[in-house]
Structure 1
Amino acid sequence: MNEEQRLKSGLIKPDLSPGLGDKEKDYSQYFETVYTEPSLKDAKKRGQEEIAYHDDFKIEERFLGMGKGRKFYIRTYGCQMNEHDTEVMAGIFMGLGYEPTNTVEDANIILLNTCAIRENAENKVFGELGHLKPLKQRNPDILIGVCGCMSQEESVVNKILQTYDQVDMIFGTHNIHRLPNILHEAYMSKEMVIEVWSKEGDIIENLPKVRHGNIKAWVNIMYGCDKFCTYCIVPYTRGKERSRRPADIIHEIRQLAADGYKEITLLGQNVNAYGKDFDDVEYLFGDLMNDLRKIDIPRVRFTTSHPRDFDDELIAVLAKGGNLVEHIHLPVQSGSTSMLKIMGRIYSREEYLTLVKKIKEAIPNVALTTDIIVGFPNETDEQFEETMSLYREVGFEMAFTYIYSPRDGTPAAKMKDNIPMEVKKERLQTLNSLVNAYSKEAMMKYEGQIVEVLVEGESKRNDQVLAGYTRKSKLVNFVAPNSTIGKLVNVKITAAKSWSLDGEFISVVEKEEVLL
């Protein structure tokens, strides 16, 4: 067996030390687990492999105490799913004996949990890796790792291999549960440890978590996405849709309720598709939401929804109210049918508006928010105006707005990015002016009303003021005793701003009260 065969078999590791001509090298051939460049054609064929469920996660005895006397630091980029992954990794670190720290200077291990959704997010990570290099040079014993969605991209792995020799380990979204093994390898090896799986069929239960606070919690109900919007990298970095079993989700939420949590947010790249991958039971997202109504926890939210999978049964369940809040985030991305087709969104403007009409008829007091992309390839002034007119017609109360940027490996990246940046910025500014106006209009309606607020803590801008959110996710600032933190309170709104409300504390909400 020659050296190349031994490398490919994994018997030895390649020499990754910088050298002449390294920029021309492609090391991916040596790591069969590295997720290859996304292929829409190949990815759409997936889904035949069986989903494996593991409910017996535990840290191997040989790894216990690995972190004694050591500290970890995790910097998280991107969505709530990444935040939730960080909670799991923190739980594993604590189980290994590590202690958390808030500064990289104190850390023995530094992890960057990355996002691949936009180019700017990736650039921040590469910039941070550059800032960490002097720290690594001063203290070579520090371990630096890159995980999350960026790690699932082969081009990113190759760039790290070629440019960032201060990185000790790279692992992906599918093998977080392997963190103890990865750390062990990183301590033992002189070379970079890479473990990135393209395998995407496993669901691991009983993972430890260190949650942020004890008031609100995120609960993952499914993984992956099968929608393949032409601009989106998520179906490749997060894999195919896999739903957790209902009993596991319900058990976790019941435990959170027993622990005193007041609000949970169900997470998934497309929560509306929950249960569609089950082949042994007919149990969809509406069924899950109906069961969660029966749990004694004040608020249940979910994110994010795809309009295509928002069915009548789900609307009927949400209309029952109770602990199911009256806020729905429903990304539209564009108001133009022709642009939606190019984006691969699988619905038209008319179908989206029909869905909105159904939701409003069933839940008259619903607050709708959305996501919108401007400057997608070939977007005309007329198509942009269709987005503006749809925004007005729906009357969204808030929107996350973005300028389109191509992601390598997605179908849209092969399209000519033919909208000048100055045009993109102008459209974004025009859209944001409308978003701001509609947000202010929605806020003004609260003046003089008494609303239910879940108190989360002190205001970021004034520690003499408390802050919390209404059921419709409106930020409220008010003066009240610190003893109300973590409780539901009644607040009378005295002033409305574009993005927040000022109020006067009235009382703690009694259990039987339900205020919208």
Structure 2
Amino acid sequence: MPKLGLISLGCAKNLVDSEHMLARLRDAGWEITEDMTEADVGVVNTCGFIEAAKTEAIETILETAQNKQTGNMKGLVVTGCLVQRYADEMRAELPEIDVFCGTGSYDDIVDAANAALKGQQAAYMADMTSAALDGSRDRLTPSYTAYFKIAEGCSNTCAYCIIPKLRGRYRSREMASLLEEARALSDAGVKELIVIAQDITKYGMDLPEHKRLLPELLRELCKMDFTWIRLHYLYPDQITDELIDVIADEPKIVKYLDIPLQHVSKRILRAMHRPGDGAEFTRLIEDMRERIPGLVLRTSLIVGLPGETEDEFAELCEFLQNVGIERVGVFEYSPEEGTEAAELPDQIDDETKQNRRLIVEELQSGVLDDYNTSRHGEVMQVLCEGFDEEQGLWYGRTYADSVEVDGHVYFDAADNEPAEGEFVSVLITESLGPDLLGVRQKEA
């Protein structure tokens, strides 16, 4: 039985693609190994979103390819967004790669791996919208957490973003298929279901019903045996009263929403081809906080878009100070070839972009400190993720902490050690940077 190793880079949506590919490979008789030195074939599923991701992908490809000299590897398959974007260039400049597999060809991964095993050169580059959206998965997340991708692609035309050219138009999965998969995940013991897509709020708009089906989908998911249902990502102009009501009314939907705003200056947002402005966002956030008690928000922001003035940057900082969004990821604008923004005049120098990012991060650290302090003395439900040998403490996440992007709660369990994936009650006692410290409480 041939062995295959896979490395998945980039976002959670990419990880789900990797899980689908692994299931197909295992069903075809491949043995999956975590040790690339043992693998007969290596697969690298790449991200090609921004420059840093491209650099990481190329470094990982080259490092993995070394196993063809030092290990058992007979061939290397590279898949994902970087391939979709740069297949011709990669073919010319990276001879280490044997087989290419674009984002429309994940269904061909078994053929791709077999070709690589035989030492063949091949490329599978089907139309981006042709890949199946359903199928079994060999999950790479802990047993208690699973990503749940409800749509693929993106039909927005954000000026800075290359994703529609890498993933194709927005395609919602059929409701029946989603519910079947969700039931299987629930039956498998998944406690935290993370609903993902490039924009989950548009779910259903491309289906024959041509209406927003996310509220209906969430109500059905809440009937299943999940403890937490987490939502990533909700676009601000697509958040309806019905959706807010469902989030507020359903206890299983965690009161943590990731809403990418990107900026608040109306001129900058229009240059990005995005709707809204700071005043609209403020009203939306105030409305949601009033209707959803305990709401914690995360957003992503871009600083340094071409032409961003000091006044527009100051407007963004003022908004953050006034609104107090608890979680913020801020990114320096990356000019990506093939996007409209890369061709705009008044490109901003790297030093200015970096300084603006650091200013926002400093502002946000104060907001986060205030949030963490507000939790002192509170007993919070924590999903235990393991034991930290260095700290000598257990750790996990509250509803206000999503996977990888937020902090943790470190807690002393005394003689009452939890299991990974168990929900425990923790009295929050103090802060440690972005993290919280506490003590496990006896369950009522």
Q: Deviations over 1:226-262 (max 9, x none)?
A: 1111111111111111111112212222222222211
Is 1:112 the equivalent of 2:44? yes
- The letter of the residue matching 2:91 is L
TM superposition shift of 1:304: 1.4
TM superposition shift of 1:404: 0.8
Equivalent position of 1:467 in the other structure: 395
The runs of 5 or more residues in structure 2 that have no matched partner are 402-406
Equivalent position of 1:149 in the other structure: 81
Q: Is the 8 A contact 1:172 1:197 kept in 2?
A: yes
TM superposition shift of 1:119: 0.6
- The letter of the residue matching 2:164 is P
Is 1:279 the equivalent of 2:212? no
**204-213 or 157-166, which deviates more:** 204-213
- Residue 507 of structure 1 aligns to a residue in which SS? coil
Q: Deviations over 1:104-149 (max 9, x none)?
A: 2222121111112211110122223333444334568521121111
- The whole-number CA distance in structure 1 between the counterparts of 2:211 and 2:308 is 41
- Residue 386 of structure 1 aligns to a residue in which SS? helix
Equivalent position of 1:319 in the other structure: 248
Q: Is the 8 A contact 1:335 1:389 kept in 2?
A: no
Q: Deviations over 1:191-245 (max 9, x none)?
A: x211122341554422332342211111111111111111111111111111111
Q: Deviations over 1:29-88 (max 9, x none)?
A: xxxxxxxxxxxxxxxxxxxxxxxxxxxxxxxxxxxxxxx1x3222222211111211222
- The whole-number CA distance in structure 1 between the counterparts of 2:135 and 2:17 is 13
Equivalent position of 2:12 in the other structure: 80
Equivalent position of 2:404 in the other structure: none
- The whole-number CA distance in structure 1 between the counterparts of 2:426 and 2:420 is 13
Equivalent position of 1:367 in the other structure: 296
Q: Deviations over 1:425-466 (max 9, x none)?
A: 11111110011111111011111110001111123754x321
Tell me: CA distance 1:417–1:71, structure 2 relative to 1, closer, same or farther (3 Å): farther
Q: Is the 8 A contact 2:107 2:131 kept in 1?
A: no
Higher Rg of the two aligned structures: 1
- The letter of the residue matching 2:426 is V
Q: Is the 8 A contact 1:177 1:207 kept in 2?
A: no
Tell me: CA distance 1:195–1:381, structure 2 relative to 1, closer, same or farther (3 Å): same
Question: With structure 2 as the length reference, what TM-score do the two structures score?
Answer: 0.93
Q: Is the 8 A contact 2:255 2:292 kept in 1?
A: yes
- The whole-number CA distance in structure 2 between the counterparts of 1:220 and 1:113 is 17
Q: Deviations over 1:355-402 (max 9, x none)?
A: 212211211320011101111111111111111111122211111111
Q: Is the 8 A contact 2:384 2:418 kept in 1?
A: no
- Which among 152, 157, 182 is matched to residue 228 of structure 1? 157
Tell me: CA distance 1:208–1:129, structure 2 relative to 1, closer, same or farther (3 Å): closer
- Residue 452 of structure 1 aligns to a residue in which SS? strand
Q: Is the 8 A contact 1:457 1:466 kept in 2?
A: yes
Q: Deviations over 1:154-180 (max 9, x none)?
A: xx1122111111101111222212211
- The whole-number CA distance in structure 1 between the counterparts of 2:9 and 2:259 is 22
Q: Is the 8 A contact 2:296 2:326 kept in 1?
A: yes
- The letter of the residue matching 1:459 is D
- Residue 249 of structure 2 aligns to a residue in which SS? coil
**1:350-361, aligned counterparts within 5 Å?**
350-361=279-290
- The whole-number CA distance in structure 2 between the counterparts of 1:361 and 1:92 is 46
- Which among 371, 376, 382 is matched to residue 453 of structure 1? 382
The runs of 5 or more residues in structure 1 that have no matched partner are 1-67, 511-516
Equivalent position of 1:476 in the other structure: 409
Tell me: CA distance 1:86–1:458, structure 2 relative to 1, closer, same or farther (3 Å): farther
- Which among 21, 26, 37 is matched to residue 94 of structure 1? 26
Equivalent position of 1:245 in the other structure: 174
Higher relative contact order (CA 8 A, sep 6+): 1
Equivalent position of 2:97 in the other structure: 167
- The whole-number CA distance in structure 1 between the counterparts of 2:410 and 2:395 is 5
- The letter of the residue matching 2:398 is T
Q: Is the 8 A contact 1:444 1:497 kept in 2?
A: no
Equivalent position of 2:368 in the other structure: 439
Q: Deviations over 1:251-302 (max 9, x none)?
A: 2222222222111001101000001111147561111112222222110012
Tell me: CA distance 1:132–1:203, structure 2 relative to 1, closer, same or farther (3 Å): closer
How many aligned residue pairs are there?
437
- The whole-number CA distance in structure 2 between the counterparts of 1:411 and 1:281 is 29
**1:490-509, aligned counterparts within 5 Å?**
490-508=425-443
**1:324-473, aligned counterparts within 5 Å?**
324-416=253-345, 418-459=347-388, 461-462=390-391, 464-473=392-401
Equivalent position of 1:487 in the other structure: 422
- The letter of the residue matching 1:325 is V
Tell me: CA distance 1:245–1:461, structure 2 relative to 1, closer, same or farther (3 Å): farther
- Which among 211, 214, 220 is matched to residue 291 of structure 1? 220
TM superposition shift of 1:313: 1.1
Equivalent position of 2:187 in the other structure: 258
- The letter of the residue matching 1:378 is G
Is 1:135 the equivalent of 2:29? no
- The whole-number CA distance in structure 2 between the counterparts of 1:87 and 1:476 is 28
Tell me: CA distance 1:410–1:497, structure 2 relative to 1, closer, same or farther (3 Å): same
- The letter of the residue matching 2:397 is Y
- Residue 442 of structure 2 aligns to a residue in which SS? strand
- The whole-number CA distance in structure 1 between the counterparts of 2:222 and 2:206 is 23
- Which among 110, 113, 137 is matched to residue 183 of structure 1? 113
- The whole-number CA distance in structure 2 between the counterparts of 1:71 and 1:157 is 26
- The whole-number CA distance in structure 1 between the counterparts of 2:122 and 2:244 is 47
- The whole-number CA distance in structure 1 between the counterparts of 2:277 and 2:291 is 22
Q: Is the 8 A contact 1:168 1:186 kept in 2?
A: yes
When the two chains are superposed, the root-mean-square deviation of aligned CA atoms in Å is 2.0
Q: Is the 8 A contact 1:148 1:173 kept in 2?
A: yes
- The whole-number CA distance in structure 1 between the counterparts of 2:137 and 2:153 is 21
Question: With structure 1 as the length reference, what TM-score do the two structures score?
Answer: 0.81
- The whole-number CA distance in structure 2 between the counterparts of 1:350 and 1:344 is 17
- The whole-number CA distance in structure 2 between the counterparts of 1:172 and 1:389 is 43
Q: Deviations over 1:461-501 (max 9, x none)?
A: 54x32111111215211122444321111000111133111
Tell me: CA distance 1:240–1:350, structure 2 relative to 1, closer, same or farther (3 Å): same
- The letter of the residue matching 1:87 is E
- The whole-number CA distance in structure 2 between the counterparts of 1:406 and 1:145 is 28
Q: Is the 8 A contact 2:159 2:272 kept in 1?
A: yes
